[in-house]
């Protein structure tokens, strides 16, 4: 049986292997995603983002329990700033979610961001497609949490949950960075700490100052470590899902998401082609390597790269 066939039949080892191919940027990965694509579009995608230390992993773990209690399957992609083989926060994620290890209705995968500026591994989109085709009902994507670059999560997920904590300054930072605008649900985690109500009012005031929209993001108080308020967080996510579906906004978001994915793939391909031209035995490559004073016009060089790429048929 092919790898795609095994994945579609529910073989978890095939799923893990497929995601590894995507993460390693193996050429087989794109073909595999193409093979399973007709079986995608059924999972609901939820992004968890926020500053480091706000408890996103603990919240993800608690949400998995709620989702499973409601008889739905779930996949979790935890994007870590380092390689998945170096431990660190990845090890922390695995320890926190270890109680779900034997549950066949849960699949958890840590992925290294590997320098990808958006806080999301380059293979995250492929992993989402593969999990979707595998038949997960819900997919949680937990991001690195590196500030403004987290805006990328809104181009990948259906619902974005912004996780904050009391008196940490991350709420103010989120307002300044514009991250507030991408949140569909706010969660003030560690709400048992002092200052939770002050943070809630701050976010509420910021929402009130923004443009009026049909969906007003709810602010949910929770303590993931104590598993308090978690059902309320998930109910808020489901309420947003209902709103998107009934208003027709979900279809619009997914069309926009497809457009963003195509643009990202085109940009990646163009970047690789440009690197081959600049590093290869080409006129522009040789001139670049022979240049000693750095005074070459980068715009002119870029035009030469594009011209050469066009003359080669974009291959």
Residue 28 CB coordination number (10 Å): 13
Rounded to whole angstroms, the Cα distance separating 167 from 195 reads: 6
Mean pLDDT of 198-226: 89
Inside any domain, residue 24: no
Q: What pLDDT was estimated at residue 271? A: 87
pTM for this predicted structure: 0.86
268 and 239 in a common domain: no
153 and 275 in a common domain: no
Q: What pLDDT was estimated at residue 34? A: 95
Inside any domain, residue 11: no
Inside any domain, residue 161: yes
Rounded to whole angstroms, the Cα distance separating 285 from 305 reads: 9
123 and 45 in a common domain: yes
Using the 3D structure, point to which of 247, 280, 296 is the last residue of a domain: 247
- Percent of residues, the chain, with pLDDT higher than 90: 49
CA distances from 236 to 109, 147, 218, 249 (A): 25, 24, 7, 17
Q: Is the dihedral of CA 165, 171, 173, 177 positive or negative?
A: positive
Inside any domain, residue 192: yes
Using the 3D structure, point to which of 247, 280, 301 is the last residue of a domain: 247
Inside any domain, residue 289: yes
273 and 216 in a common domain: no
268 and 241 in a common domain: no
Inside any domain, residue 46: yes
CATH number of the domain enclosing 75: 3.40.50.300
What's the pLDDT band for 251 if we cut at 50, 70, 90?
very high
Q: What pLDDT was estimated at residue 7? A: 98
Would you say residue 83 has pLDDT above 80? no
Would you say residue 163 has pLDDT above 70? yes
In sequence order, which residues have a C-beta less than 8 Å from that of residue 117 and are 6 or more positions away?
149
* Domain span including residue 288: 260-311
241 and 264 in a common domain: no
DSSP readout, the chain?
--HHHHHHTT-HHHHHHHHHHHHTT-HHHHHHHHHHGGG-S-SEEEEEE-STTS-HHHHHHHHHHHHHHTT--EEEEEEESS-TTS-THHHHHHHHTGGGTT-TTEEEEEEE-TT-TTSS-TTHHHHHHHHHHHT-SEEEEE----GGGGGGGGGT-SEEEEEE-TTSSHHHHHHHHTGGGG-SEEEE-STTSTTHHHHHHHHHHHHHHS---SS---EEE-BGGGTBSHHHHHHHHHHHHHHHHHHTHHHHHHHHHHHHHHHHHHHHHHHHHHHHHHHSSSHHHHHHHH-SSS-S-HHHHHHHHHHHHHHTTT-
214 and 283 in a common domain: no
224 and 165 in a common domain: yes
By DSSP bridging, strand 138-142 and strand 159-164 are: unpaired
269 and 190 in a common domain: no
209 and 90 in a common domain: yes
Inside any domain, residue 253: no
The number of folded domains in the chain is: 2
157 and 66 in a common domain: yes
97 and 214 in a common domain: yes
Which tokens sit at 207? 């929402």
Using the 3D structure, point to which of 247, 279, 300 is the last residue of a domain: 247
Q: What pLDDT was estimated at residue 113? A: 61
Q: What pLDDT was estimated at residue 119? A: 47
Inside any domain, residue 17: no
Half-sphere exposure of 274 (CA within 13 A, CB side): 13
Would you say residue 61 has pLDDT above 90? yes
Would you say residue 280 has pLDDT above 70? yes
Q: What pLDDT was estimated at residue 21? A: 93
Would you say residue 96 has pLDDT above 80? no
């Amino acid at each position: 049986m092919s790898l795609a066939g095994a994945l579609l039949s529910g073989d978890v080892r095939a799923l893990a292997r497929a995601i590894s191919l995507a993460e390693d940027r193996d050429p087989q990965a794109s073909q595999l995603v193409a093979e399973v694509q007709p079986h995608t579009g059924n999972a609901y995608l939820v992004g968890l983002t926020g500053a480091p230390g706000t408890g996103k992993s603990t919240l993800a773990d608690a949400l998995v329990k709620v989702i499973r209690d409601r008889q739905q399957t779930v996949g979790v992609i935890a994007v870590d700033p380092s390689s998945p083989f170096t431990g660190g926060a990845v090890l922390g994620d695995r320890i926190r979610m270890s109680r779900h290890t034997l549950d066949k209705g849960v699949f958890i995968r840590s992925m290294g961001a590997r320098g990808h500026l958006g806080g999301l591994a380059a293979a995250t989109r492929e992993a989402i497609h593969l999990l979707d085709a595998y038949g997960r009902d819900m997919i949680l994507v937990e991001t690195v949490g590196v500030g403004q670059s987290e805006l990328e999560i809104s181009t990948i997920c259906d619902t974005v949950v912004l996780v904050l904590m009391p008196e940490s300054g991350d709420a103010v930072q989120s307002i300044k960075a514009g991250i507030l605008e991408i949140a569909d649900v706010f969660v003030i985690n560690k709400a048992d700490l002092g200052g939770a109500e002050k943070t809630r009012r701050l976010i509420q005031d910021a929402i009130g100052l923004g443009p009026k929209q049909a969906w007003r993001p709810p602010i949910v108080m929770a303590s993931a470590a104590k598993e308090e308020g978690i059902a309320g967080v998930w109910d808020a996510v489901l309420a947003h899902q209902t709103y998107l579906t009934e208003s027709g906004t979900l279809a619009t978001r997914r069309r926009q998401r497809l457009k963003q994915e195509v643009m990202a793939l085109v940009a990646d391909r163009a970047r690789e082609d440009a690197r081959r031209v600049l590093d290869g035995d080409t006129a522009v490559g040789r001139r670049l390597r022979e240049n000693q004073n750095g005074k070459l016009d980068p715009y002119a060089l870029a035009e030469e790269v594009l011209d050469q790429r066009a003359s080669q048929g974009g291959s």
